[in-house]
Amino acid sequence: MVIQDIWFDLKDGRRALLRSPREEDIPGTLDYLVQSAGETEFILRYPEECGRYTYDGEKAFFERKNASPTEAMLMCLVEGKVVGNCDIAVLPHIKARHRATVAIALLRDYWNLGIGTRMFMELNRIAEGFPQVTQMELEFIEGNDRARRLYEKSGFRIAGVHPNAFRFKDGSMHNEYLMIREIKR
Ligand SMILES: CC(C)(COP(=O)(O)OP(=O)(O)OC[C@H]1O[C@@H](n2cnc3c(N)ncnc32)[C@H](O)[C@@H]1OP(=O)(O)O)[C@@H](O)C(=O)NCCC(=O)NCCS
């Protein structure tokens, strides 16, 4: 699914652009994947686990997302730079087609500027556009209070816990929380 340009103002006054990914975004996306993995413990991969991402792999991934009727990816660009993205996918199996999973991550320099809030407005709108979807789902790691705040203000609530889902390099264990947002039809 292709999402057309959405311009909005950041809290610091700069303009930001949300849109579907394009081939020109690939170098910035490869940099973003490695950098974001080193800036927060709250996403799954460490930087050394990003080697599998390649130009051709991202190209195929972008094309698949843009061509899919049940998936979408949104890039955020500020002053031409890829600063993060988010993603929504309706689960493919008949028994799970009422569920859409979402995910988001931004570079640290662009946290707290309102990008996540604007992205979730759009993710909610996209989800509501799928007539069969009655539930959006995501996960966050305990301690990620900024993400939790964003998700709660976007209409999500905690529905379950996965104990000790993440073990950081320092050996500490962290629970993962499932959140859902119901869509009344
Ligand atoms: C989590 C993340 C996506 C949030 O996006 P964002 O653009 O920074 O979010 P926003 O600026 O739109 O909103 C953040 C909200 O959290 C609040 N907040 C900031 N720090 C906070 C903290 N430590 N505790 C609680 N709330 C906090 C902000 O005040 C804001 O709320 P408000 O709009 O009511 O003032 C982003 O910070 C990020 O990419 N983090 C690293 C990767 C990550 O954690 N991804 C999510 C994995 S589940």
Model confidence pLDDT, tens digit, residues 122-165: 999 999 999 999 999 999 999 999 999 999 999 999 999 999 99
Q: What pLDDT score does 130 carry? A: 97
Provide the H-helix boundaries in 68-161. 115-128, 145-153
Q: Is the CB of 76 under 6 A from ligand 1?
A: no
Mean pLDDT of 20-28: 98
Query: What is the per-residue pLDDT for 95?
Result: 98
- Give pLDDT, residue 155: 98
Q: What percent of the chain has pLDDT over 90?
A: 99
CA of 93 to the centre of ligand 1 (A): 32
Residue 185 pLDDT grade (very low, low, confident, very high; cuts 50, 70, 90): confident
Number of neighbouring beta carbons within 10 Å of residue 171: 6
Mode of pairing for the β-strands spanning 173-182 and 81-90: unpaired
Minimal-distance CA residue to ligand 1 atom 21: 146
Measured in angstroms, how far is the CA atom of residue 41 from the centroid of ligand 1?
14
What single-letter DSSP state applies at residue 183?
Answer: -
Predicted confidence at residue 120, as pLDDT, reads 98
Question: Does pLDDT of 11 surpass 90?
Answer: yes
Three-state DSSP at 140 gives strand
The domains of the chain are located at 6-182
pLDDT in tens, 75-132: 999 999 999 999 999 999 999 999 999 999 999 999 999 999 999 999 999 999 999 9
Give the C-alpha separation, 101 to 111, whole Å.
Answer: 22
| Separation CA 117–CA 64 (nearest Å) | 26
Q: Which amino acid is at 86?
A: C
Task: Just give the CATH number of 6-182.
Answer: 3.40.630.30
Asked whether 106 lines ligand 1 (CB < 6 A), one says: yes
What is each CA distance from 145 to 3, 43, 75, in whole angstroms?
A: 29, 14, 23
pLDDT at 107: 98
Strand, helix or coil for residue 155: coil
Task: State residue 65's pLDDT score.
Answer: 98
Contact 144, 165 (CB under 8 A): no
Query: Is it the case that residue 34 has pLDDT exceeding 90?
Result: yes
- Residue 135 has what pLDDT? 98
Contact yes or no for 97/69 (Cβ under 8 A):
no
